[in-house]
Protein backbone atom coordinates (compact mmCIF):
# COMPACT_ATOMS: atom_id res chain seq x y z
CA UNK A 1 0.00 0.00 0.00
CA UNK A 2 3.10 2.17 0.23
CA UNK A 3 5.15 2.72 -2.89
CA UNK A 4 8.85 3.53 -2.82
CA UNK A 5 11.07 4.56 -5.71
CA UNK A 6 14.84 4.77 -5.35
CA UNK A 7 17.12 6.81 -7.56
CA UNK A 8 20.62 8.22 -7.59
CA UNK A 9 22.69 5.09 -8.03
CA UNK A 10 25.52 4.88 -10.48
CA UNK A 11 29.23 4.38 -10.94
CA UNK A 12 31.62 6.21 -8.65
CA UNK A 13 35.31 5.94 -7.88
CA UNK A 14 36.70 4.80 -4.55
CA UNK A 15 36.52 7.67 -2.08
CA UNK A 16 33.73 9.37 -3.97
CA UNK A 17 30.19 10.20 -2.96
CA UNK A 18 26.65 9.44 -4.06
CA UNK A 19 23.29 10.63 -2.79
CA UNK A 20 20.41 8.18 -3.06
CA UNK A 21 16.78 9.28 -2.93
CA UNK A 22 13.68 7.32 -1.98
CA UNK A 23 10.30 8.86 -2.77
CA UNK A 24 7.53 7.41 -0.63
CA UNK A 25 3.92 7.58 -1.78
CA UNK A 26 0.57 5.98 -1.05
CA UNK A 27 -0.42 5.47 2.58
CA UNK A 28 2.53 7.41 3.96
CA UNK A 29 0.61 8.17 7.15
CA UNK A 30 0.95 4.50 8.10
CA UNK A 31 4.75 4.52 7.82
CA UNK A 32 6.74 4.59 11.06
CA UNK A 33 10.27 3.81 9.80
CA UNK A 34 12.09 4.06 6.49
CA UNK A 35 15.13 1.84 6.15
CA UNK A 36 17.90 1.40 3.62
CA UNK A 37 19.31 -2.03 2.77
CA UNK A 38 21.81 -3.34 0.25
CA UNK A 39 22.44 -6.65 -1.44
CA UNK A 40 25.55 -7.72 -3.31
CA UNK A 41 25.63 -10.77 -5.61
CA UNK A 42 25.78 -13.98 -3.61
CA UNK A 43 25.19 -12.21 -0.32
CA UNK A 44 22.19 -11.73 1.93
CA UNK A 45 20.33 -8.46 2.04
CA UNK A 46 22.12 -6.26 4.58
CA UNK A 47 20.79 -3.51 6.80
CA UNK A 48 22.36 -0.10 6.19
CA UNK A 49 20.41 2.61 8.01
CA UNK A 50 16.99 3.54 9.35
CA UNK A 51 15.16 6.70 10.36
CA UNK A 52 11.92 7.45 12.16
CA UNK A 53 9.60 8.78 9.47
CA UNK A 54 8.19 11.39 11.82
CA UNK A 55 11.48 12.42 13.39
CA UNK A 56 15.21 12.79 12.95
CA UNK A 57 16.67 10.00 15.08
CA UNK A 58 18.77 7.59 13.04
CA UNK A 59 20.49 4.22 13.33
CA UNK A 60 23.36 2.82 11.24
CA UNK A 61 25.08 -0.46 10.56
CA UNK A 62 28.65 -0.51 11.85
CA UNK A 63 29.95 -0.99 8.32
CA UNK A 64 28.70 2.44 7.20
CA UNK A 65 28.67 4.45 10.42
CA UNK A 66 30.61 7.67 10.00
CA UNK A 67 30.45 7.50 6.21
CA UNK A 68 26.72 7.38 5.39
CA UNK A 69 23.98 9.74 6.52
CA UNK A 70 20.26 8.99 6.33
CA UNK A 71 17.78 11.84 6.36
CA UNK A 72 14.22 12.62 5.36
CA UNK A 73 12.26 15.53 3.94
CA UNK A 74 8.69 15.16 5.14
CA UNK A 75 7.41 17.87 2.79
CA UNK A 76 8.69 15.87 -0.19
CA UNK A 77 7.99 12.43 1.32
CA UNK A 78 11.57 11.53 0.51
CA UNK A 79 14.36 9.76 2.35
CA UNK A 80 17.96 10.40 1.38
CA UNK A 81 21.07 8.30 1.88
CA UNK A 82 24.21 10.38 1.54
CA UNK A 83 27.16 8.06 0.96
CA UNK A 84 30.68 9.41 1.37
CA UNK A 85 34.12 7.80 1.31
CA UNK A 86 32.76 4.97 -0.78
CA UNK A 87 34.64 1.67 -0.94
CA UNK A 88 34.45 -1.18 -3.47
CA UNK A 89 32.76 -3.30 -0.80
CA UNK A 90 29.86 -0.82 -0.84
CA UNK A 91 28.98 -2.07 -4.33
CA UNK A 92 25.45 -3.47 -4.21
CA UNK A 93 21.85 -2.89 -5.16
CA UNK A 94 20.44 -0.45 -2.61
CA UNK A 95 16.82 -0.69 -1.52
CA UNK A 96 14.62 1.52 0.60
CA UNK A 97 11.73 0.06 2.54
CA UNK A 98 8.84 1.17 4.76
CA UNK A 99 7.84 -0.38 8.06
CA UNK A 100 4.44 0.03 9.69
CA UNK A 101 5.15 -1.73 12.95
CA UNK A 102 5.53 0.19 16.18
CA UNK A 103 8.62 -1.26 17.82
CA UNK A 104 10.26 0.93 20.47
CA UNK A 105 13.77 1.44 19.05
CA UNK A 106 15.34 1.82 15.62
CA UNK A 107 17.68 -1.04 16.44
CA UNK A 108 14.58 -3.24 16.23
CA UNK A 109 14.32 -2.42 12.52
CA UNK A 110 17.52 -4.10 11.32
CA UNK A 111 15.68 -7.16 10.03
CA UNK A 112 14.12 -7.25 6.58
CA UNK A 113 11.07 -8.92 8.10
CA UNK A 114 10.10 -5.63 9.75
CA UNK A 115 9.42 -3.99 6.38
CA UNK A 116 6.24 -4.57 4.40
CA UNK A 117 6.96 -2.43 1.34
CA UNK A 118 10.10 -2.22 -0.77
CA UNK A 119 11.42 -0.19 -3.65
CA UNK A 120 12.82 -1.63 -6.85
CA UNK A 121 16.44 -0.99 -5.96
CA UNK A 122 19.16 1.16 -7.47
CA UNK A 123 22.61 -0.10 -8.43
CA UNK A 124 25.67 1.43 -6.78
CA UNK A 125 29.05 0.45 -8.19
CA UNK A 126 32.29 1.65 -6.63
CA UNK A 127 35.36 1.16 -8.79
CA UNK A 128 38.92 0.92 -7.53
Instruction: State CA 64 to chain mean position distance.
Output: 11
Is residue 31 very low, low, confident or very high in pLDDT (cuts 50, 70, 90)?
confident
pLDDT digits (tens, 9 = 90+) for 111-126: 999 999 999 999 999 9
Question: Can you give the pLDDT at residue 24?
Answer: 95
Question: Can you give the pLDDT at residue 1?
Answer: 82
Is residue 30 very low, low, confident or very high in pLDDT (cuts 50, 70, 90)?
confident
Which of 10, 17, 26, 11 has the alpha carbon at shortest distance from 118?
26
Question: Can you give the pLDDT at residue 15?
Answer: 98
Is residue 19 very low, low, confident or very high in pLDDT (cuts 50, 70, 90)?
very high
Q: Is 75 exposed, middle or buried (0-12, 13-18, 19+ CB in 10 A)?
A: exposed
Largest CA distance in the chain: 42
Is residue 54 very low, low, confident or very high in pLDDT (cuts 50, 70, 90)?
confident
Amino acid sequence: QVQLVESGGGLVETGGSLRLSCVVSGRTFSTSVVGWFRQAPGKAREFVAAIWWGGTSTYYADSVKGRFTISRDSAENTSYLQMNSLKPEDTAVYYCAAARSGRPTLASYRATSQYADWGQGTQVTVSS
